[in-house]
Amino acid sequence: LLVLIPGHASSQEHPSLTITKEGVVNIQRELGELPLFDVSLEQVKVQVDAEISSGIDVPIPKDYSGGYTHERHKLNYLTMQKAGLLYQVLDDEKYAIYVRDMLMQYADMYPTLSLHPKERSYARGKLFWQCLNDANWLVYTSQAYDCIYEWLSKKQRQDLEINLFRPFADFLSTGNPKFFNRIHNHSTWGNAAVGMIGLVMDDDELVQKALYGLPDDNIEPNAKDNDGGFIKTENGKSGFLANLDEPFSPDGYYTEGPYYQRYAMYPFLIFAQSLHNARPELGIFEFKDSVLLKSVNTLLQLTDKNGDFFALNDAQKGMSYQTSSLVTAVDLSYYYGGKDTSLLHIAEQQGKVILSDAGMEVAKGVNQNTSRPFKRKSMQFSDGANGKQGGLSVLRSKDESLTLVFKYTAQGLSHGHYDKLSYSLYEQGNEVVQDYGMVRYVNIEQKGGGNYLKENNTWAKQTIAHNTLVKDETSHFQGTYEIGSKYHSNLYFFDASNSKVQIISAVESNAYTDTQMHRTMAMIEEETYGKPFVFDILRVNSQKPAKYDLPLHYLGQPIQFGFDYQATATLEPLGTANGYQHIFLEGKGQFRKKSNATFSWMHQNHFYTLTTIVSQNEQFLLGRLGANDPQYNLRRDPVIIHRKEKTKDALFVSIMEPHGSYSPVTEMAKNAKSNIEHIEIIYNNKDYIGVQIKGKNWLDKIFILANTENDKSKKHRLTINGKLYEWVGPYTYQNKK
């Protein structure tokens, strides 16, 4: 464990947060030699010079995000941080003057400000409508102050610290314990802000608060924030180190998911780097088995083939490792994490580096041509502070052409969705079977001020919005955060050691009362089929008969339905609550006997087929998003739902198969039809499930899953239809006898 040296009192030199005196000397020596660094420097210079020539504006705070004063203060802190670095690197006083003059205007205004006039936040800021943005401001501005600290007179520093920085830090910490003293990305920003300005001012009280939180915060145990998340966690810890300890699993998975991780990474890393430079004795990068650097690799692994983050929990699609906080993350991870040359490959794609010692080393590595391809792999990531709260698995085919993301995590704090054992599927960089993401148009003011829209709760978080089981048209944990937060799914087994059959299996026992869900998904490669297919067994055991819905949120245009259905002439909502109220029913197929139902579609010029085992009276419902959405907050995406009614124990078995492509230029369709001919359950009891898979080129296989024995070394013997099958481990995939 870390021990902070009490009463630390160095006469610290500046700059010492993200750039050091020594670093500046090194950088200046290399200027003009490293194209990636020079380009990055030039970009920053162009931006800052443009701002300098358009003049300083520090308006009275007034607007929500998207509005002028919000965007202006945001631009101000971003520009000050850059100007500070330019002053150091280029040694040109005009940048220091710009930062100083702007800071002085803030120091004049700040003491006059009461709370921001907009009242929506659980923790209103002063410059912005929420403390979170005030903390953003201070994280960036601390760096600017650090860069011009020695250039300022003592008098100027006193003025800034007394009128601006110290009260600013106090407001964010003791002034706003609900914001500052919790385990949440908001607090991470708050902690970093207070800690970083504390480091610049050499104010150890602030640094202590930043690292360990407020000793006494008087927050009610059940208080919640705007997103409906709890303020307090059970163990009651807070501060930066607790925030680092708690939401990151030992595998570096951040419990809110990659979209929020990339947002949180910046304060984590930038404050860590500052601590590394200014308080090296803390050994921050080694904390919790180097979890911070590990988490950067995890975040990069949680991207599709063109670098977009998987849309887990609340997440806006299209966010990618091109985002600026990932430039910082990649550069620092390279510099402090052993110079992994595959990171250089990503830095090249980012096309820029940060202006610091770390960025310079990256530029040097790129210049020396040492980059090697960044490889995405099949991986399993545990969730929870100690890695014991379920997890996330990613299965990838060769060349990353097919990617399956399988989620059996904990709730994921207030940004979590009710999506136990759900999955999404990507081909190349494209979603094929989607997680909807969030319902929010970030920074598009016309759409509810750019904030979360109510359909985020009524649709995006609901279970029916995900590719997993819904029981009786209700969401997991009754769609209740308090309940969901108590539980997590459990890994049954994960095995990616055999590239021909990569497999993940997990169990969820709490999403519905007296109901166990056990889902196993395998990515199976049959060489003659060109592309691998995904085999999916979802086994449900319940105490009482119920209605089960298993949606498939495919993207694209239906091509062929291998079953009869009635299209609906008039579209009505499929239900009234829990997300069902947003789905229009476009058609319904009812099955008369046990058979296979198939459904083919085309997306981005690729063909896909779902083959599912259906029984008498089961239904396929064809749905379209958009009901009860008068504001068009939702996309009009399609869904197909497999429904089993009045069923106690249910078994959903299907194959999801990418199998071809189309070119609108050559107008040729390749492998437009499925390779799978028939799947059938040939064994099913409490111990084993056996499924026969027949397909083109005389494929005749059997897949057997052991339902209750996940020991990988355990030997099994099972006779099915008079034939003996023997294997080792929780499953076998072999030729049918």
Between 339 and 673, name the residue whose CB sits nearer to its own copies: 673
Partner that binds at residue 586, options its own copies, Mg ion, Ca ion, none, CB closer than 5 to 8 Å by kind: its own copies
Partner that binds at residue 722, options Mg ion, its own copies, Ca ion, none, CB closer than 5 to 8 Å by kind: none
Question: Count of residues binding Ca ion (CB under 5 A)?
Answer: 5
Between 298 and 600, name the residue whose CB sits nearer to its own copies: 600
Which residue do the tokens 């041509």 mark?
369
Cα separation of 656 and 641, whole Å? 14
Q: Residue-wise over 218-248: b if at least 16 C-beta within 10 A, else e?
A: ebeeeebbebebbbbbeeebbbbbbbbbbbb
Between 431 and 629, name the residue whose CB sits nearer to its own copies: 629
Shortest separation between residue 309's beta carbon and Ca ion, angstroms:
9
Shortest separation between residue 448's beta carbon and its own copies, angstroms:
11
Neighbours of 266 (CB within 10 A): 22
Where along the sequence are the contacts to its own copies (CB under 8 A)?
Answer: 66, 316-320, 322-324, 441-447, 450, 557-560, 567, 569-573, 584, 586-587, 600, 602, 605, 624, 626-632, 635-636, 638, 662, 664-669, 672-673
- Is the separation of the CB atoms in 570 and 563 below 8 Å? no
Q: Per the residue annotation, which of 14, 415, 553, 606 is the catalytic one?
A: 415
Shortest separation between residue 69's beta carbon and its own copies, angstroms:
16
- Is the separation of the CB atoms in 176 and 115 below 8 Å? no
Q: How far is CA 125 from each of CA 176, 194, 195, 251, 655, rounded to the nearest angstrom?
A: 9, 14, 18, 34, 51
Which ranges of 246-283 does DSSP label H, i.e. alpha helix? 258-278
Between 324 and 497, name the residue whose CB sits nearer to its own copies: 324
Partner that binds at residue 306, options Mg ion, Ca ion, its own copies, none, CB closer than 5 to 8 Å by kind: Ca ion
Cα separation of 247 and 716, whole Å? 39
Shortest separation between residue 598's beta carbon and its own copies, angstroms:
11
Between 437 and 690, name the residue whose CB sits nearer to Mg ion: 437
Partner that binds at residue 559, options Mg ion, its own copies, Ca ion, none, CB closer than 5 to 8 Å by kind: its own copies
Cα separation of 537 and 280, whole Å? 51
What three-state secondary structure class fits 316?
A: coil
Identity of the amino acid at 558: P
φ, ψ for residue 205, nearest 5 deg: -60, -45
Please confirm, yes or no, whether 659 is among the known catalytic residues: no
Phi-psi region of 573 (alpha: psi -120 to 50; beta: other; left: phi over 0): beta
- The tokens describing 218, both together, are 């008087």
**Candidates 153-161, 213-221, 308-316, 626-634; binding stretch for Ca ion (CB under 5 A):** 308-316
- The tokens describing 640, both together, are 């197909």
Partner that binds at residue 665, options Ca ion, its own copies, Mg ion, none, CB closer than 5 to 8 Å by kind: its own copies
* CB proximity list for 94: less than 8 A, separation 6 or greater: 52
Shortest separation between residue 132's beta carbon and Ca ion, angstroms:
8
Partner that binds at residue 240, options its own copies, Mg ion, Ca ion, none, CB closer than 5 to 8 Å by kind: none
Between 619 and 710, name the residue whose CB sits nearer to its own copies: 619
Between 447 and 547, name the residue whose CB sits nearer to its own copies: 447
Partner that binds at residue 435, options Mg ion, its own copies, Ca ion, none, CB closer than 5 to 8 Å by kind: Mg ion
- The tokens describing 264, both together, are 């949180």
Comparing CA positions, the residue from 435, 486, 427 lying closest to residue 465 is 435
Interface pattern 373-412 for Mg ion (x via CB under 5 A): ----------------------------------------
Comparing CA positions, the residue from 393, 402, 389 lying closest to residue 423 is 393
Q: Residue-wise over 52-66: b if at least 16 C-beta within 10 A, else e?
A: beeeeebeebebbbb
Partner that binds at residue 227, options its own copies, Mg ion, Ca ion, none, CB closer than 5 to 8 Å by kind: Ca ion
What residue number has its CB nearest to Mg ion? 308
Shortest separation between residue 304's beta carbon and Ca ion, angstroms:
5
Between 324 and 543, name the residue whose CB sits nearer to its own copies: 324
φ, ψ for residue 62, nearest 5 deg: -155, -40
Q: How far is CA 669 from each of CA 108, 172, 662, 664, rounded to the nearest angstrom?
A: 68, 60, 4, 9
631 sits near Ca ion (criterion: CB under 5 A): no
Site for Ca ion in 210-239 (CB under 5 A): 227
Cα separation of 142 and 147, whole Å? 9
Shortest separation between residue 161's beta carbon and its own copies, angstroms:
32
Partner that binds at residue 316, options Mg ion, its own copies, Ca ion, none, CB closer than 5 to 8 Å by kind: its own copies
Question: DSSP labels for 112-155?
Answer: G--S-S----SS--SSSSSHHHHHHHHHHHHHHHHHHTTTS-HH
Partner that binds at residue 624, options Mg ion, Ca ion, its own copies, none, CB closer than 5 to 8 Å by kind: its own copies
Identity of the amino acid at 432: V
Q: Per the residue annotation, which of 253, 260, 423, 608 is the catalytic one?
A: 260
Shortest separation between residue 458's beta carbon and Ca ion, angstroms:
18
Binding Mg ion (rule: CB under 5 A), the pick from 51, 308, 629, 657 is 308
Shortest separation between residue 256's beta carbon and Ca ion, angstroms:
9
Between 188 and 674, name the residue whose CB sits nearer to Ca ion: 188
Shortest separation between residue 435's beta carbon and Mg ion, angstroms:
4
Partner that binds at residue 638, options Ca ion, Mg ion, its own copies, none, CB closer than 5 to 8 Å by kind: its own copies
Between 308 and 383, name the residue whose CB sits nearer to Ca ion: 308
Shortest separation between residue 318's beta carbon and its own copies, angstroms:
3
Shortest separation between residue 573's beta carbon and its own copies, angstroms:
8
- Is the separation of the CB atoms in 432 and 658 below 8 Å? yes
306 sits near Ca ion (criterion: CB under 5 A): yes
Interface pattern 413-452 for Mg ion (x via CB under 5 A): ----x-----------------x-----------------
Partner that binds at residue 417, options its own copies, Ca ion, Mg ion, none, CB closer than 5 to 8 Å by kind: Mg ion
Please confirm, yes or no, whether 415 is among the known catalytic residues: yes
- Is the separation of the CB atoms in 673 and 659 below 8 Å? yes
Interface pattern 472-501 for Mg ion (x via CB under 5 A): ------------------------------
Partner that binds at residue 323, options its own copies, Mg ion, Ca ion, none, CB closer than 5 to 8 Å by kind: its own copies
Comparing CA positions, the residue from 58, 227, 41, 257 lying closest to residue 141 is 58
Q: How far is CA 190 from each of CA 197, 208, 272, 580, rounded to the nearest angstrom?
A: 11, 13, 14, 38
Between 188 and 462, name the residue whose CB sits nearer to Ca ion: 188
Cα separation of 51 and 723, whole Å? 78
**Candidates 33-41, 66-74, 267-275, 429-437; binding stretch for Ca ion (CB under 5 A):** 429-437
- Is the separation of the CB atoms in 471 and 547 below 8 Å? yes
203 sits near Mg ion (criterion: CB under 5 A): no
- Is the separation of the CB atoms in 476 and 420 below 8 Å? yes
Between 37 and 441, name the residue whose CB sits nearer to its own copies: 441
Shortest separation between residue 323's beta carbon and its own copies, angstroms:
5
- Is the separation of the CB atoms in 626 and 582 below 8 Å? yes
Binding Ca ion (rule: CB under 5 A), the pick from 250, 429, 530, 562 is 429
φ, ψ for residue 438, nearest 5 deg: -110, 165
Question: DSSP labels for 572-589?
Answer: -BS-SSTTGGGEEEEEEE
71 sits near Ca ion (criterion: CB under 5 A): no
Identity of the amino acid at 633: N
308 sits near Ca ion (criterion: CB under 5 A): yes
Cα separation of 195 and 272, whole Å? 10
Q: Which residues bind Mg ion (CB under 5 A)?
A: 308, 417, 435
* Residue ranges binding Ca ion (CB under 5 A): 227, 304, 306, 308, 429
- Catalytic site positions: 260, 415
